[in-house]
Amino acid sequence: MGLFDFLKVTVDDKKTSKPARRMVSVVEFDGRSYPIASLTSKGLVARGFDGTLIVGQNARVSVRVDDGAGKFSFATTVSVVDTKDGKMTATWTMLPTEVDTVIRQYAQLRKQQDAKAAGK
């Protein structure tokens, strides 16, 4: 018996489970990100908005969607339409055709999921 045998530690080889990944859809600009409340082929609504953009302003944004209805991302330009009650409403000013198609499919899936959830 060695002098330091009492210090032996046993370690299980079990992998710890990763915490559940939180699905989030956000719009990012100026180093900030805001959760998306609504996304359509016309534009988006972001919540938790702090007023960094003003009505009528154009901005280059990155949109990242990651939820049960889809996972995709793209960069585009928006025109801010409304900023009140902590929400920002913006319309797309430049949106590639393939992105428009993906957004339309996404909106259709969300509508179906919402209908199923309301029907429960």
Q: Which DSSP string do the residues of the chain spell out, in sequence order?
A: --TTGGG------PPPPPPPPPP--EEEETTEEEEEEEE-SSEEEEES--S-S-TT-EEEEEEEEEETTEEEEEEEEEEEEEEETTEEEEEEEE--HHHHHHHHHHHHHHHHHHHHHHH-
Look at residue 65 in the predicted model and tell me its pLDDT. 94
pLDDT > 90? residue 14: no
Q: Please state, in angstroms and rounded to a whole number, the distance separating the CA atoms of residues 35 and 49.
A: 9
User: Which class is 23-114 in CATH?
Assistant: mainly beta
Confidence of residue 64 (pLDDT cuts 50, 70, 90): very high
In this predicted model, which residue has the larger pLDDT, 19 or 42? Answer: 42
Q: Where in the chain are the domains?
A: 23-114
Look at residue 119 in the predicted model and tell me its pLDDT. 81
Mean pLDDT of 3-26: 58
Q: What is the pTM of this model?
A: 0.75
Q: Please state, in angstroms and rounded to a whole number, the distance separating the CA atoms of residues 45 and 81.
A: 10
